[in-house]
Structure formats: C-alpha cells, structure tokens
Structure 1
Amino acid sequence: MELTPALVRSALTGLPDAPSPWLPLLQPSPRAAAVAVPIRFSTEPVAIAILRSTILREHAGQVAFPGGKPEPEDRDLYATALREMNEEVGLEDAEPLGRLTPTPVYSGRYLIHPYVVAVPEERAPEPRSPEIARILELPLTAWLRGDEPLRGVVVDWQGSTMFMPHFELEGCVLYGASAVIFHELITRLADTLGITLPPPRLQKTMPWGDREPV
C-alpha cells in the first residue's frame, strides 16, 4: 500500500460534499477555527498531532491537530491553519492536498475547518509553544491495514444516536472533533484505495472519562 500526495489529493477532491452530521451541535453564531492535518510522506506516512499541556485552562491534556482562531492578518482560514502549524510545531513549506468537512466541537461554540497538507519529510516537527506537551505521530497505514482497530462509542443526543470515533495512540486518546476529522480522512483514503475497513469496536464507556468530548 503506497500513500502519496497525489493519492491523498484524489481522495479529497470535491470535499466537503455534504455537511457534517454534527451540525446540530452548533450554537447560534459559532466562531470559526482552522486546523492543519500535516502528513509526512516517508516509509510510513504519518499525520502529525499534538498533545496539549495539562496546565491549560481549556483543552488541557487533549490530543488535537495544530490550529486555532483566525487573526486579523490571516488572508483566509487556510492561512490560519498554516500560521498555527508553524507557530505550534515549526512546520512550513506545506503543499495543500485538500479540505475535510467543517466539523463542530461538541460544545457548539466553534466550527473547525480542517486542511490536509503535505510537509517536508526531512523536517521533523518540534513543540514551539509551552502549550504543547509533545508531538504525536499517527501512522495512517496502521488503520488502513487494520493493524490498529477503529474504535468508538455511540451516544444519544437530543433524540439522535451519534457515533463518536476515537483513536488510541502512545498512551493518549484522540477524541471529539479531532477524531471525527481523522476518521473522515482514514475513510476517504480507504475508499480511494478500494479498502473495506473493519467495523469499529464499540465501547460502553467513554475513554476520555468525564471530560467534555470536544
């Protein structure tokens, strides 16, 4: 199985093609935010994520993709994603590969716009902010091959049943909106490669404990 920038770009062509099923979560007048989903294409292509510090007032100890709120100097939300990626993990010279579906956080206060980019293989990410505890790498083919199981929980929300995916890695759990974004990426890649993913392993308990599943 070979993942290339061209294949990822093909998988994301035309997206987003439908609104997120999480849109009912949005509060009136949600704020926009943007994240980059950086991919390093090497022998084992990986998506780069961050573990946020436990000292933060918000999102402490959570796994996320580099990103944040737009600043006045940002030309657009893609520029926001690139700026935040550089500020947080020191990656630049990114090649755009496509967008994923805008996804609300569970609280409904933000609508996250994800942008998938290829970053130079020779440049390793590094924490550039005290808000970041460490860098995490998500090996894409591990989930595509089935070496790592897809996991999730099913929750009832306002009369609807919602599937909430999550991914276990390096002693952490990627959950909430970030997990929905990564799950869509894996699903789109599998469709393009002609791979049938195994059904997710459903759990009865929330692996993130009593935290809000943002």
Structure 2
Amino acid sequence: MNEFPLYSADEFRRRALHQSGGPVELAWRDHGDHLLNPETISQVADLKLKDAAVLVPVVDNGDDAKVIFTLRTSTLRKHSGQIAFPGGAIDPEDASPEMAAVREAGEEIGLADIFIEPVARLPHYLAATGFRITPVLAVVKPGFHLALNPTEVEDAFEVPLSFLMNPDHHVTDTMLWQGTERHFYRMPYGQRMIWGITAGIVRTLYERLYR
C-alpha cells in the first residue's frame, strides 16, 4: 500500500527514485515515441547531437501535484509556438544537466532555484532537430512567483499530474516530417495541445513511473 497519495509530489519523488525499466543512461530506445518510430532510431542515433536539458517541474500541491509547462513564443528559431518544459542547451559552465535545467527555468520563467529540488533523470530524448535532451525530474515547493522572459515564453501554465499520467489522454497521431511518416503522441488539455518532444517526455514519465 502506498504511503502517499498516488499523484502527490511525495509519491512522484518516491517513484522517480525507483523507476521501472532499464538503466536511465541506456534506456532511451525503450520509451515514448521512440517506440512508435523504430525505423528512425538508428538515424537519430547517428546524428551529431547537441546536449540539452529540460526541467520537468512538479509542483507540490497536496494530493494532486501540478506540472508547469511553457508556451514558446512564435519568434523563436526552433520549436516556436509549441508547448514545452523550461530548458535549453547545456552550456560549458553548467556542471550537470540538473544545473542547466534549473538555470534555464530561472532564465525562461523566473522560477527561483531555492524552490526547486532536482530528484532524478529520465532517459535521454534524442530529437531529430539535433538535440540529446536530458529530462530532469524536480519537485517544486509552493510559494514561488514566475516572471516570464517575453523573448522566449509567451505563457506558463499548470496541468494536473493525474491528467498527464492517465494513458487515456495519450493520443497517437501521424504526420509527414521531411518526407518521412512520423508517429507521435499528443495530449489535448482544454485549449492547449501538448505534442512532439514534450508529449514524448510525458509518455516516458508515465511508462517509467506510473504504468
């Protein structure tokens, strides 16, 4: 019997530290939309990838934790207008993906590091756009205030963890990308559409922590 409510931040932390599946460093092929596109795995793995990190910020909100997402501005060069986690490239001065993810969260949405508790990592997400992304799972203490960077972020909003971890909300879809049929997850939430890399990371979170 679980000691904590299923979708509380405490239970999220416990599950993040005891993930199912293979070792985090090796398991990227085994999860998310990588499984939907097995024929592209070798193609992506052979790309020269730039290391990046994103913060998966789970707000301690009692029995039903919330997850912070951003809406990227339409003027950004990559992934413009999409829903994303705070994050970006790992800079040379970043000692770890955790440091990069926390730094980016501060720069993009003004989330102060004193509220952020990095807990664990998910397997890498290898993006065909040229990034090897490390998702950093974190618990965020309540009481924070956000200040959005208008050059990068148009909006920030929260989605209940219970909604995201319900596989009934994980819809598969198909599109043509550079002449190749690609399968992906999308997760409609009200007027929002979580899809692409972000939905792939959410799906991996579900597969390793809540399935």
State whether structure 2 residue 7 is matched by structure 1 residue 3: yes
Instruction: Provide the identity percentage.
Output: 26
Trace 1:56-71 onto structure 2 (pairs within 5 A): 56-71=76-91
Q: Give the AA of the match of 1:36.
A: L
**Residue 53 (structure 2) aligned to one of 34, 43, 51:** 34
Q: Is the 8 A contact 2:164 2:202 kept in 1?
A: no
**Residue 169 (structure 2) aligned to one of 117, 141, 149:** 149
Displacement of 1:61 after TM fit? 0.5
State whether structure 2 residue 139 is matched by structure 1 residue 118: yes
Q: Distance in 2 between matches of 1:105 and 1:68?
A: 13
Against the structure 1 CA distance between its residues 55 and 155, is the aligned structure 2 distance closer, same or farther, given a 3 Å change threshold?
Answer: closer
Q: Which has the higher helix share?
A: 2
Structure 1 residues 156-195: Cα deviation after superposition (integer angstroms, max 9, x where no partner): 99xx99752111124232211211111121333323xxxx
How many correspondences in the alignment?
187
Q: Distance in 2 between matches of 1:77 and 1:185?
A: 17
Displacement of 1:150 after TM fit? 1.9
Which residue of the partner structure matches residue 123 of structure 2? 101
Which residue of the partner structure matches residue 18 of structure 1? 27
Q: Distance in 2 between matches of 1:185 and 1:19?
A: 12
Displacement of 1:27 after TM fit? 4.1
Q: Any stretches of 5+ residues in structure 1 without a counterpart?
A: 192-214
Considering only aligned residues, what root-mean-square deviation do their CA atoms show, in Å?
2.6
- Using the size of structure 1 for normalisation, the TM-score is 0.76
Which residue of the partner structure matches residue 205 of structure 1? none
Which residue of the partner structure matches residue 181 of structure 1? 201
Q: Is the 8 A contact 1:34 1:77 kept in 2?
A: yes
Q: Distance in 1 between matches of 2:99 and 2:201?
A: 19
Structure 1 residues 3-28: Cα deviation after superposition (integer angstroms, max 9, x where no partner): 33442233223552623353432343
After superposing the two structures, state which structure 1 stretch, 29-38 or 163-172, moved more: 163-172
Q: Is the 8 A contact 1:63 1:174 kept in 2?
A: yes
State whether structure 2 residue 102 is matched by structure 1 residue 82: yes
Displacement of 1:126 after TM fit? 3.4
SS at match of 1:34: strand
Trace 1:185-204 onto structure 2 (pairs within 5 A): 185-191=205-211
Displacement of 1:57 after TM fit? 2.6
Displacement of 1:154 after TM fit? 5.0
Which residue of the partner structure matches residue 149 of structure 2? 128
Q: Any stretches of 5+ residues in structure 2 without a counterpart?
A: 35-40
